[in-house]
């Protein structure tokens, strides 16, 4: 088992409970207790790309304040996978369960009913939710619809130098957001070389604490932003490897909401 690690920005606003490891390496052992964070931190567990095999992660998903699934909970839009995923969510103890759709769900014939099908979670479709944790602060999470990576020209429009940066970019999440959930990763960060430059440009504008993605299974892991993305932690939470077999564990961490910082 990999040792627990603290990482992220110099501000100390993110504490990573455990570095990535494979399910094969951990055997059937339940994940060990995380290091104790400062009491005002919010616990987050991230999963993605379970492709109908979510039940295999049940003993690996720690209880936390927020569970995030970054899409592709089905395989090829199988509705039975979606309903089984909803049942699984209903048995998890997490206070807030947030879900976005991946490329496997985006064109499903039931996509218009996604929120009704996944009633045990909160499905974010290019919108935001504010989660109130009392004296620990309020966490703003924005979830995007799936979109294939934009071209460099389209990405330039999201930098803030164009009128489209606010009204036309597909990634029009608000400044000051704490967490962005987008199925496809941002260019250059846990993306396997296939990330979206427009998403990265929007991240640089808004400065979220976390960006949680998946989609590129082999790119599972975590990376820290640099340059204009400094201060943002990028997560690729994909859980399956080749052949749609579960191979990566959930990624767990704690964050301090921006509204709670001195």
Q: pTM for the complete prediction? A: 0.84
pLDDT attached to residue 169:
61
Whether the CB-CB separation of 26 and 241 falls below 8 Å is answered with no
Task: Reply yes or no on whether the pLDDT at 77 is more than 70.
Answer: yes
CA 1 from chain centre, in angstroms, equals: 23
| Burial (0-12, 13-18, 19+ Cβ within 10 Å), 132 | exposed
pLDDT attached to residue 114:
97
Confidence of residue 187 (pLDDT cuts 50, 70, 90): very high
Task: Reply yes or no on whether the pLDDT at 158 is more than 60.
Answer: no
Per-residue CA distances from 221 to 62, 139, 213 (Å): 17, 23, 10
Query: Can you tell me the mean pLDDT for 8-12?
Result: 40
pLDDT attached to residue 215:
96
Task: Reply yes or no on whether the pLDDT at 21 is more than 50.
Answer: no
Q: Which residue, 200, 248, 243, 258, is CA-closest to 31?
A: 248
Confidence of residue 105 (pLDDT cuts 50, 70, 90): very high
More confident residue, 62 or 161: 62
At 224-259, the pLDDT tens digits run 999 999 999 999 999 999 889 999 999 999 999 987
Helices and strands per DSSP (H, E), number in the chain: 6, 12
Of 10-14, 63-67, 184-188, 192-196, least confident by mean pLDDT is: 10-14
Query: Can you tell me the mean pLDDT for 139-164?
Result: 69
Query: Can you tell me the mean pLDDT for 78-86?
Result: 97
Confidence of residue 170 (pLDDT cuts 50, 70, 90): confident
Of 153-167, 186-200, 204-218, least confident by mean pLDDT is: 153-167
């Amino acid at each position: 088992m990999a040792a627990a690690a603290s990482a992220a920005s110099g501000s100390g606003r993110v504490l990573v409970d455990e570095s990535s490891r494979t399910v094969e390496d951990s055997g059937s052992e339940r994940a060990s207790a995380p290091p104790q964070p400062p009491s005002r931190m919010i616990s987050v567990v991230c999963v993605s790309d379970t492709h109908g095999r979510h039940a295999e992660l049940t003993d690996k998903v720690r209880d936390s304040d927020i569970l995030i699934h970054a899409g592709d909970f089905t395989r090829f839009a199988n509705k039975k996978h979606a309903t089984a995923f909803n049942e699984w969510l209903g048995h998890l103890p997490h206070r807030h369960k947030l879900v976005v759709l991946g490329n496997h769900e985006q064109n499903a014939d039931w996509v218009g009913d996604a929120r009704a099908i996944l009633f045990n979670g909160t499905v974010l479709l290019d919108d935001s939710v504010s989660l109130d944790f009392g004296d620990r602060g309020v966490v703003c999470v924005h979830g995007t619809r799936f979109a294939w990576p934009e071209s460099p020209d389209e990405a330039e429009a999201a930098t803030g130098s164009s009128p489209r940066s606010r009204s036309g970019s597909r990634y029009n999440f608000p400044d000051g957001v704490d967490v962005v959930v987008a199925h496809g990763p941002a260019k250059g960060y846990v993306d396997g070389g296939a990330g979206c430059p427009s998403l990265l440009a929007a991240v640089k504008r808004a400065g979220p604490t976390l960006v949680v993605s998946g989609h590129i299974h082999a790119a599972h892991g975590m990376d820290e932003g640099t340059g204009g993305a400094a201060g943002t932690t990028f997560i690729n939470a994909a859980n399956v490897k080749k052949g749609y077999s579960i191979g990566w564990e959930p990624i767990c961490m704690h964050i301090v909401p921006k509204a709670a910082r001195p």
